[in-house]
Chain A
Amino acid sequence: MARLARYCACLVLAATAARAEPPAADAVERGRYLARAADCVACHTAPGSAEFAGGLAMPTPLGRIYTTNITPDPETGTGSYSLADFSRALREGVAKGGRYLYPAMPFPSYAKISDADMQALYAYFQHGVAPVKQANRRSGIPFPLNFRFPLLFWDAMLRRGPFRPDPGRDARWNRGAYLVQGLGHCGTCHSPRTFTLHEKALTERDGPDFLAGAVINGWYAKNLRGDKDGLGRWSEADIVNFLKAGSTDRTAAFGDMAEVVQHSTQYLTDDDLAAVARYLKSLPPRAGEAAGLQAAAPAHEDVRRGKAWYDELCMTCHRGDGGGMARIFPALAGNDVVQTADATSLVHIVLSGGRRPRTQARPTAFAMPAFKTLNDREIAQIVSYIRTAWGNSASPVSAEQVAKMRATFNDAEAAR
């Protein structure tokens, strides 16, 4: 009997060894989870096209670039990549064959991915994703700017390194730090950049620019630090709710963040979300700079007309007292998102409208209509009213600022 048991155990071991080439199913599943945490699908899938087959256009100051096929197709995708090739692409931004990737790929963040997670991601992208034959598109960056070797210098200026845990903090905080800095690559949008387009900070150790808010794609990716217009007034539970359901009692994800919630964060486990929240809430306010919360009162007539436009166009959903409807339509009163020093997102959503993420927790993706038929002055009046009514105290916005932003958004739309 004992011999039979030993024999069976050997059989099992042999079977495991035989499967070692295609990795264990749980590695593939873990890789699937990590790929969601890293939101690979957001950039590597073009609308209406196969998942991970690339081809999404990304406007850059130099011209349009296209994301690449990362399905395991051996010719057009990453099927021929070894783990080392795969890891080098993710961590160092160098594709197999030595070509430098454009830094639209957040490899400065992915450099922090652990070896174990890298192996799981590799397992998933080799065995959990269907191969799709789809050749990569050439970039629209003109000669001679399309030479990639200068990226070497860009790369050399980068302070990149593996994730460094902080032994003075608990495991949950460190898990959150790892997710935010690495897979989540939150800083790609939320950290300001230098004129060379490097993120000014890649971790909390790099100082108060880390996740201090930045304009990208015509949206202001908000400050995630402890400022009043950051996450200072959010609880950890608010952050978890927001990332899981796409909304809290006060606010809702919109713009590009709606897609992040829909494709990525809603799938994170409660433990991981709690870790992200713990870490973000530990970031102190950006020192030295006054938050956007200072009111230079708009002119009386602008206030009167702003309120009238609000009553006409906004009040049905956001309510007369700016209180919104909990978890359905965001509150505007006391909402830090409408009081950021940089009003880009607020103006943008009034012009273009937006849709909340569709999540398992909240399947109805409520939307806000587009009000682009309003003129610049009218939008300035509405936005200024919202930023100063009900105890809100952010600076008013001028018609000239709206005109400038409208032109930027129109350019961005045209470039898509």
Chain B
Amino acid sequence: MSCASRDKEGGALRQALTAAALAAGLLSPALAQTPAEPKPQPAPAVKLAPPHIADIPNDDSGKQIMLGMRLLAETKKLLPDNVASALNCDSCHLGNGRVANASPYYGMAVNYPRYNARAGRPVTLIERINGCLLRSMNGQTIAVDSAEMKAMVAYLDWLSAGLPPHAKVEGAGVGKVDANLVPDAAHGKQLYDAKCAECHGSNGEGLKNAQGEFVVPPLWGDESFNIGAGMARTYTAAAFIKSNMPIGYGLNAPLGQGGALTDQEAVDIADYFTHQPRPDFPPKVNDWPKGGRPKDARY
């Protein structure tokens, strides 16, 4: 199959799904008039089908998109003043944000602004990016009108081009684990030592290459994400590692990720490593001003 024909198919698929979504939207008022109690029909989820990097236009707009992609992948290196941890955006949004259940960027641009319980108000995409810089990267926000922010938004917009507003994407987020499972941190440590330490280090210190740059992010300590990050929450981290860790584990494209842990194992490991020492986040006092604090929040 040629690249072009696949894209055509992908486009056709998206069109079909969009049509289906529109049809559902048109039908729902009719449904609402029926005597039975009205149930709003959720829009069908859209397949995760981001465009290919090879098809980024080879012009100035493409240059900006490519810059945005690089900033998200090499955030620490390219924005050293804004990133205090050793992480990049792509440390959690694996594979350029194109991968299911690895917190894909695909679909984000059409879902913001959206209500955020932690903030207690709707937040914009730019605020969301800056939130990640403050928490996961334990750093500083970047200016809304800076070339870097515009480039990151350009990449996110390009990824989601053609998606209907508020499209729900299959594989959005980090997957799920059973949040009723009771964590066993001691077992989590055993599992961590056996299954995670080879890459992330016995002390969660991550792994550097010969040039001293991190190639595997640290999971705790001064150079890791702070206590305000989503990844500091046990069940969020558990879902992420169950879906994605380790990468290069199976023959499944694109990353060979996941398939190594049960829900309970993931919860145990997550409880162990999220509760290791990590930077504080003083503005945490402003979080969840209207309630809705999740049970695994760290404060």
**Residue positions of A touching B, CB distance < 8 A:** 304-305, 308-309, 311-313, 315-317, 319-320, 323, 325-326, 328-329, 353-355, 362, 364, 366-371, 373, 375, 377-378, 381
B28-58, CB under 8 A of A: which get 1 and which 0? 0000000000000000000000001111101
Whether A377 pairs with B3 at a CB distance below 8 angstroms is yes
- Which residues of B have CB within 8 Å of A313? 253-254
Whether A368 pairs with B256 at a CB distance below 8 angstroms is yes
Whether A378 pairs with B3 at a CB distance below 8 angstroms is yes
Interface check B1, CB cutoff 8 A: yes
Whether B199 pairs with A320 at a CB distance below 8 angstroms is no
Interface check B125, CB cutoff 8 A: no
Whether B215 pairs with A369 at a CB distance below 8 angstroms is no
A325 to B213, CA, bound (A): 11
Interface check B207, CB cutoff 8 A: yes
B111 to chain A, nearest CB (A): 23
Whether B54 pairs with A355 at a CB distance below 8 angstroms is no
Whether B215 pairs with A323 at a CB distance below 8 angstroms is yes
Most B CB within 10 A of own CB, among A304, A313, A353, A362: A313
Please give me the residue from chain B that is nearest to A362 by CB atom.
Answer: B198
| Given A312-B96, A319-B215, residue A368 in contact with residue B248 (CB < 8 A) | yes
Interface check B246, CB cutoff 8 A: yes
Whether A309 pairs with B210 at a CB distance below 8 angstroms is no
Please give me the residue from chain A that is nearest to B194 by CB atom.
Answer: A363
A156 to chain B, nearest CB (A): 45
A239 to chain B, nearest CB (A): 20
Whether A320 pairs with B74 at a CB distance below 8 angstroms is yes
A313 to B248, CA, bound (A): 12
Whether A316 pairs with B255 at a CB distance below 8 angstroms is yes
Please give me the residue from chain B that is nearest to A382 by CB atom.
Answer: B54
The contact sample of 8 A-B pairs, CB cut-off 8 A, is A304-B54, A308-B53, A308-B56, A312-B53, A328-B216, A362-B198, A367-B248, A377-B3
Interface check B299, CB cutoff 8 A: no
Whether B209 pairs with A326 at a CB distance below 8 angstroms is yes
Interface check B146, CB cutoff 8 A: no
B257 to chain A, nearest CB (A): 9
Interface check B117, CB cutoff 8 A: no
| Given A309-B54, A317-B248, A377-B2, residue A328 in contact with residue B253 (CB < 8 A) | no
Whether A328 pairs with B248 at a CB distance below 8 angstroms is yes
Out of A316, A325, A369, A381, name the residue touching B209 (CB < 8 Å). Answer: A325
Please give me the residue from chain A that is nearest to B54 by CB atom.
Answer: A308
B61-98, CB under 8 A of A: which get 1 and which 0? 00000000100011000000000000000100011101
Please give me the residue from chain A that is nearest to B208 by CB atom.
Answer: A326
Whether B2 pairs with A364 at a CB distance below 8 angstroms is no
A323 to B246, CA, bound (A): 19
| Given A312-B53, A325-B199, residue A304 in contact with residue B247 (CB < 8 A) | no
Whether A366 pairs with B209 at a CB distance below 8 angstroms is no
Out of B52, B211, B247, B252, name the residue touching A317 (CB < 8 Å). Answer: B247
B209-234, CB under 8 A of A: which get 1 and which 0? 11100011000000000000000000
B68 to chain A, nearest CB (A): 13
Please give me the residue from chain B that is nearest to A319 by CB atom.
Answer: B215
Out of B3, B58, B198, B210, name the residue touching A304 (CB < 8 Å). Answer: B58
Whether A367 pairs with B256 at a CB distance below 8 angstroms is yes
A331 to chain B, nearest CB (A): 9
A316 to B102, CA, bound (A): 12
- Which residues of A have CB within 8 Å of B255? 316-317, 369
A320 to B215, CA, bound (A): 10
- Which residues of A have CB within 8 Å of B209? 319, 323, 325-326
Whether A312 pairs with B251 at a CB distance below 8 angstroms is no
- Which residues of B have CB within 8 Å of A315? 73, 96
Whether A366 pairs with B54 at a CB distance below 8 angstroms is no
B129-147, CB under 8 A of A: which get 1 and which 0? 0000000000000000000
- Which residues of B have CB within 8 Å of A320? 73-74
B214 to chain A, nearest CB (A): 10
A356 to chain B, nearest CB (A): 9
Whether A369 pairs with B210 at a CB distance below 8 angstroms is no
A309 to B73, CA, bound (A): 15
Interface check B115, CB cutoff 8 A: no
Whether A375 pairs with B2 at a CB distance below 8 angstroms is yes
B8 to chain A, nearest CB (A): 14
B278 to chain A, nearest CB (A): 23
Whether B198 pairs with A355 at a CB distance below 8 angstroms is no
- Which residues of B have CB within 8 Å of A319? 209, 215
B91 to chain A, nearest CB (A): 10
Whether A369 pairs with B1 at a CB distance below 8 angstroms is no
Whether A316 pairs with B253 at a CB distance below 8 angstroms is no
Whether B216 pairs with A316 at a CB distance below 8 angstroms is no
Whether B94 pairs with A316 at a CB distance below 8 angstroms is yes
A381 to B55, CA, bound (A): 14
Most A CB within 10 A of own CB, among B90, B211, B256: B256
A93 to B58, CA, bound (A): 62
- Which residues of B have CB within 8 Å of A353? 251, 253, 256
